[in-house]
Amino acid sequence: RDAAYTREAALIVIIVAVLNGIGGAIIADNRVGAFIALVIVGVVGWLLWAVIADFVGRTFFGATSDVGEMLRVIGFAQSVLVLAIIPLLGFVAFIWSLVCLVVALRHGLDISTGKAIVVGLIGWLLVAIASGIVYAIVV
């Protein structure tokens, strides 16, 4: 709940997005486009996911949170995605980050694990769609 950690969460997201961009550029045909798209998707996806998680959690599950709190918990949950710089570990890091996300949402929203999974899946689906659109436009 400490707003002072929003800057650190943002820094984690930016570092992860840049490393993910590098990892994605290694295997892409359009290296520059992939890098730019993945950095944009990483940062914008984090912002979008925080807004979605806060909205869904408060509206449907009576959660007690705000967007700032969601930015922090989701940002820190993404820290394991630093492994995505290694293309073969990207999938493992993705799954691990989803587990971290559920725990973060559970505590940040003060809801049950099942509800946190629902919030996480809704957020993941909407962010994945938006990310796919951004990636298709940029690359």
Question: pTM for this one?
Answer: 0.87
C-alpha to C-alpha distances, 121 to 6, 10, 25, 34, 128, nearest whole angstrom: 23, 22, 27, 25, 10
Cα–Cα distances in angstroms (integers) from residue 7 to residues 46, 79, 84, 108, 116, in the given order: 13, 14, 22, 17, 24
Q: What is the pLDDT of residues 38-71, one digit of tens each?
A: 899 999 999 999 999 999 999 999 998 999 999 9
Please write the tens of the pLDDT for every residue from 70-89.
999 999 999 998 887 776 78
